Amino acid sequence: MSAHLSTEQINAFQEDGYLIVPGLFDAEEARIFRTAAKADKAFERHAYDLEDGEGGTANLVLWNKAGEDLWGAIARCERIVSAMETLLADEVYHYHSKMSIKQPRIGGAWSWHQDYGYWYQNGCLYPDMASAFIAVDQNTKANGCMQVLKGSHRMGRVEHGRFGDQTGADPERVEAAMKTMELVYVEIEPGDTLFFHSNTLHRSDQNTSDKPRWSLICCYNTRHNNPYKASHHPFYEPLEKLPDSAIREMGSKLFEAETDFWDPAKDQTVGTGKG
């Protein structure tokens, strides 16, 4: 699908703080993502547990470098990077990526928060940052899809800290916002992509279903917002965009030596991450 965004889509992002682009990645690409993710033992080895204080546990794998593998190709592909540069009105660079994993029945919830609530601490002066949330599995209410408060990015940064069992946005401020802003459940299909602003309040429920919810999140910062101090995420460096065809090419290389693995009939639907 083309990375070109219409004026209506750009205006919607600016007004609402998020934009859903259905089918940004087609069915074949979505199958590459899903099959590769569920078979990639690196996710099992490097996932760390995040207990939600409600009896559930989410798993997260995070990396800073958009490298030469499939996940780097996704983060650097033209349709994602160009869309981000349009939405943020500047050159962007890869801030980090992560795989968010919610296993069936036990996948934990995420409390209300803004990404800039944390990234602010990393020396980023402006909230001119955003993320592309790509559905690897189907995202539904039952398996803990993303929830956003429509227009909440216009509140500015909300105080974040330790509230009860979780670290997140000030619950008093969130409660007030929920009385005036629409709560949107982002139910999306594999390959659909949610672009959302770093000040958009978002959360998700536990996965109470028998299906997994894996989601790839590619995060970007703008060149003019280069951090003034070092942190666990990188400073600005030019991002080499890749043509959209690189994803299928990478998938072919990944699976050509694993013909049994790349058998759609054996495509796995249950993740191998910790939890």
Q: What is the pLDDT of residue 42?
A: 83
What are 37-94's pLDDT values in tens digits?
988 888 888 887 777 777 788 888 999 999 999 999 999 999 999 999 999 999 999 9
Q: Confirm if 102 and 58 have CB atoms less than 8 A apart.
A: yes
Q: Binning pLDDT at 50, 70 and 90, where does residue 163 land?
A: low
Measured CA to CA, the distance from residue 237 to residue 23 in angstroms comes to 29
Residues linked to residue 242 through DSSP beta bridges, in sequence order: 77
Least confident range from 17-21, 116-120, 167-171, 191-195: namely 167-171
Cβ contacts of 32 within 8 Å, gap of 6 or more: 70, 247, 248, 251, 254, 255
Q: 267 falls in which pLDDT band (50, 70, 90)?
A: very low
The string of pLDDT tens digits covering residues 128-146 is 999 999 999 999 999 999 9
Mean pLDDT of the chain: 89
At 211, list the tokens. 């299906």
More reliable by pLDDT, 201 or 259: 201
Which of 23-37, 217-231, 244-258 comes out lowest in average pLDDT?
A: 244-258
What six digits make up the tokens of 250? 């990478």
Band (149; pLDDT cuts 50, 70, 90): very high
Asked if the model's pLDDT at residue 198 lies above 70, the reply is: yes
The set of long-range contacts for 245-253, using a CB threshold of 8 Å and a minimum separation of 24, is: 246/73, 246/76, 246/77, 247/25, 247/29, 247/32, 247/70, 247/73, 247/74, 247/77, 248/28, 248/29, 248/32, 250/69, 250/70, 250/73, 251/29, 251/32, 251/36, 251/70
What is the side-by-side strand order in the sheet with 110-113?
110-113, 202-204, 146-149, 183-186
Query: Are the beta carbons of 221 and 64 closer than 8 angstroms?
Result: no
* pLDDT for residue 22 is more than 90: yes
pLDDT at 164: 56
Domains of the chain: 7-262 (2.60.120.620)
Whole-angstrom Cα distance, residue 8 to residue 3? 14
Confidence of residue 245 (pLDDT cuts 50, 70, 90): very high
Split at pLDDT 50, 70, 90, the class of 35 is very high
